[in-house]
């Protein structure tokens, strides 16, 4: 069951992030982000995945989506994005955007499947490996 979590979950979010990404965010970084009233995190409750996003001034952004490798390709990422979009829309957002590494075909395919389209790119955006970021967006609701 997907549920919203707060600062109490920062250690767990950091642990999932460390499984999913080579440059993991720390619990302190999650705590700083979640201190912003516009930010929110949703998790599956089993410690397998989460999404961190924010919604403000009519727009929303997915800051990070992480699914443990052992739980990938089972629909959890899509479910988390859909829930984040619904919550952002309930908070007044009419559009959602994100950045995804161009060299991550699974993530690019997930977002495309959910109706996100590329609106731009950021060359060399990611410090790890220097991958380009694709900027993707879609209108809400999902």
Per-residue confidence (pLDDT) for residue 104, from 0 to 100: 93
In the numeric block, the tokens 């609701």 are attached to 141
Q: Which CATH class name applies to 3-139?
A: alpha beta
- pLDDT in tens for each of the 142 residues of the chain? 999 999 999 999 999 999 999 889 999 999 999 999 999 999 998 999 999 999 999 999 999 999 999 999 999 999 999 999 999 999 999 999 999 999 999 999 999 999 999 999 999 998 777 899 999 999 999 8
The residues spanned by each domain of the chain are: 3-139
Per-residue confidence (pLDDT) for residue 23, from 0 to 100: 86
Per-residue confidence (pLDDT) for residue 126, from 0 to 100: 84
Provide the token pair at 99: 């950045």
CB atoms within 10 A of CB 11: 12
Per-residue confidence (pLDDT) for residue 108, from 0 to 100: 97
Bridge partners, 99 (sequence order)? 135
SS3 for 106?
A: helix
Q: Give me the sign of the Cα torsion angle 8, 110, 73, 80.
A: positive
């Amino acid at each position: 069951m997907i549920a919203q979590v707060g600062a109490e979950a920062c250690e767990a979010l950091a642990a999932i992030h460390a499984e999913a990404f080579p440059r993991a965010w720390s619990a302190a970084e999650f705590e700083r982000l979640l201190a912003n009233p516009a930010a929110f995190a949703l998790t599956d409750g089993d410690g397998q995945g989460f999404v961190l996003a924010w919604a403000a001034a009519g727009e929303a952004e997915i800051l990070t989506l992480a699914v443990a490798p052992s739980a990938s390709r089972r629909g959890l990422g899509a479910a988390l994005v859909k829930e984040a979009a619904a919550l952002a829309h309930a908070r007044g957002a009419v559009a959602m955007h994100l950045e995804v590494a161009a060299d991550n075909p699974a993530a690019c395919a997930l977002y495309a499947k959910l109706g996100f389209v590329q609106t731009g790119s950021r060359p060399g955006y990611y410090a790890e490996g220097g991958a380009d970021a694709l900027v993707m967006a879609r209108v809400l609701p999902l």
